[in-house]
Amino acid sequence: MKITLLQLNPEWGDVNANIQKAEAAVKAAGPSDLFVLPEMWSSGFTMQPEIHSENEPGEALEWMKLTSSRTGAAVAGSVAVRSGDCFRNRFYFVKPDGSVAYYDKHHLFTYSGEDGHYEAGNERLNVEWKGVRFRLIVCYDLRFPVWCRNRGDYDVLLCVASWPDRRADAWKLLLRARAVENQCYVVAVNRVGNDPTCHYTGDSAAIDAYGRTVSECRSGEEGFCSFETDMIGLAEFRSKFPVLRDADKI
């Protein structure tokens, strides 16, 4: 499977401009099986969901569905949404047949006050696409290994983020740790640029089960990178070195 990471610099609160950016990035990247966008790609990471969120189905989700149908690829990324009487940081995984699965961010970033504006989700989500099993997480979730624990139920840990540059070293370390301990690929897409409070350098990357970087975007720049999963090789590694069988049952 070809997976393409789209490292973008969202225009603050401008959905139409961000859709145009995403559209241009998809066209520049060319054919793929999965396109992955950053956390809150359509608005930037906002603490004003009453202003910058969208109802469902909103413009961002509709664009994801149309793009998936047009390209034949799945499209994934997080959007701030109004859900009933609350707001969610919702990670969509959209398939070409129009089906939409979603994961609501579980670990809200209390340090920035995200928990005061959004409702946490409590359900893990695995999605299958073209024979590959994905676990969806959002940004801060990456710091919590128990939540990310592979119970033999996924092949790729798919993470979207708005992770500031001041914690870039932790980002890179945690990506490798999650890949090694879960014997999986980690595909992590982070934004670049600035918002009203932070600077971001992206450092979006794909890491294999050995902890090796197999593809990465240029730090500090908008752009994309792609790679092909090796599911046969992953299965062989897990069979020869069955670490997951010895995991704690928690």
Judging by beta carbons within 10 Å of its beta carbon (0-12, 13-18, 19+), is residue 89 exposed, middle or buried? Answer: buried
DSSP reduced 3-state for 238: helix
Please tell me which residue in 21, 39, 65, 95 is annotated as part of the active site.
39
Side by side, the strands of the sheet bearing 34-36 are 100-104, 86-94, 74-83, 34-36, 2-7, 223-228
Give the Å distances, CA to CA, from 151 to 127, 130, 142, 169. Answer: 14, 20, 16, 27
- Is 39 an annotated catalytic residue? yes
Q: Contacts from 122-126 at CB under 8 Å and sequence distance 24+?
A: 125/91, 125/93, 125/101, 126/153, 126/154
Between CA 97 and CA 14 the distance in angstroms is 28
Please tell me which residue in 114, 139, 148, 222 is annotated as part of the active site.
139
Please tell me which residue in 95, 105, 148, 184 is annotated as part of the active site.
105
- Is 148 an annotated catalytic residue? no
Could you list the active site residues?
A: 39, 105, 139
